[in-house]
Amino acid sequence: MTSPLFETTHPGEPWPERLGPGAVRLHGFALTEAPALIAEVARIAESAPFRHMITPSGHRMAVAMTNGGALGWVSDRTGYRYEPLDPLTGRPWPPLPDCFLRLAQDAAAQAGFAGFVPDACLINRYQPDARLSLHQDRDERDLSAPIVSVSLGLPAVFLWGGLKWKDPTRRIPLVHGDGLVWGGPDRLRYHGVLPLKAGQHALLGEQRINLTFRQAG
Ligand code: MD3
Ligand code: FE
C-alpha cells in the first residue's frame, strides 16, 4: 500500500499537506470531532483550570494553559518541566479522554509515525492579542517521538522557523480543525504564534484552543 499521504482526497474530507520531511498538516482533520474535543477541554478545565504560567525570566505568559494526561508541562521561576501533579491543585492532571488519544494516534499514523503513545496533552488558550514567542519544544525525554497538534476556534498565524532562532520563519495560517504532526528532522524547529486577532468563532467565541500531544516521559 502507498502512504496515506498519496491516497486521493474527496470533497469535504481532510487532506494532508507535507510541510517538511517530518512535518504534515492535516487540513480539516479534527472538524467532525471538534465539538466533542471542546466539551472535553471544558471538563478538563473544571478540575485543572487554565492559568497563565510564569517563565523562568519572570514574565507571565500571554497564553493560558492547562494539561491532560499522566504528565503536564509547567513553567515557573525555576524552569520548564513535565510534572505528574498540577502545581495549582496538588492533584494529578485529568486523564486524556479516549477521543483525544484516538485522534492523536490517528494523526501521527497518517503522517507516518506509527506507535505514537502520548502521555501529555498541553492545552493552550489564546484570547485576542495573546501570542507565543519563538521557541523549541525540547523538554520531552524522547525527541524521536513526534508532536501532534490540533487547532480549534479562531484562526491564527503560526510561525515556522528553522533549527536556529535566527533562521527565517514561514507564516502558516492555522484554522479550526487543522491537525499538525511534527517529527524527525522538523521536531526541533523554532516555532511560535502571532498575536491572535479578535473575532467570533461559532463553537468557541472569542478564543483559540490548541491541543499539543506529546510523548513526554
Ligand atoms: C513545530 N503551540 O504548545 S502547535 C506549544 O498553536 C506550541 O499553540 C503552538 O508551540 C500553538 O509548544 C503551536 C504546533 C507545533 C507544536 C510543536 C512543534 C508546531 C511545532 C514542534 C516543532 C516544530
Ligand atoms: Fe511549541
Residue 191 CA to ligand 2 centre (angstroms): 6
Single-letter residue type at 108 = A
**Residue 107: in which H helix or E strand, if any?**
helix 98-110
Q: Is 148 in the pocket of ligand 1 (CB under 6 A)?
A: no
Secondary structure letter of residue 62 according to DSSP: S
Give 202 Cα–ligand 2 centroid separation in angstroms: 26
Residue listed under C-alpha cell 491543585: 89
Residue 177 belongs to some domain of the structure: yes
Which bound ligand lies closest to the C-alpha atom of 132? 1
205 touches 131 (CB < 8 A): no
Find the angle CA(118)-CA(121)-CA(124) to the nearest 5 degrees: 155
Domain assignment of residue 41, yes or no: yes
Q: Which ligand is nearest to the CA of 210?
A: 1
3 located within any domain: no
pLDDT of residue 13: 73
Task: Please state whether 111 falls in left (phi above 0), alpha (psi between -120 and 50) or beta.
Answer: alpha
Is the CB of 124 within 6 Å of ligand 1?
yes
**Domain extent at residue 76:** 17-214
Q: 201 by DSSP, 3-state: which?
A: strand
CA 142 to ligand 1 center in whole angstroms: 16
**Residue ranges of the chain whose pLDDT lies below 70:** 1-12
Query: pLDDT at position 23, please?
Result: 97
Residue 9 placed within a domain:
no
Buried b (16+ CB within 10 A) or exposed e, 4-18: eeeeeeeeeebebee
Question: Which ligand gives the minimal distance to the CA of 188?
Answer: 1
1 C-alpha to ligand 1 centroid (Å) = 31
Among the listed residues 174, 169, 179, 159, the one whose alpha carbon sits nearest the alpha carbon of residue 208: 174
pLDDT number for residue 5: 56
Q: pTM here?
A: 0.95
Residue entry with cell 499538525? 180
Counting from 1 in the atom list of ligand 1, the atom nearest the Cα of 63 is 8
With a 6 Å cutoff on the Cβ, whether 122 touches ligand 1 is yes
Give the closest residue (by CA) to ligand 1 atom 22. 187
Total of domains in the chain: 1
CA of 205 to the centre of ligand 2 (A): 24
Closest ligand to Cα 213: 1
- Mean residue pLDDT of the chain comes to 95
Q: Is residue 11 part of a domain?
A: no
Mutate to test the pocket of ligand 1, among 149, 163, 190 (most ligand atoms within 8 A of CB): 149
Look at residue 139 and tell me if it is in a domain: yes
Name the strands in the sheet holding 156-160, side by side, starting at the edge strand that comes first in the sequence. Answer: 132-135, 191-193, 156-160, 170-174
Q: What number of residues does the chain have? A: 217
12 occurs within a structural domain = no
CATH of the domain at 182: 2.60.120.590
Residue 141, domain member (yes or no)? yes
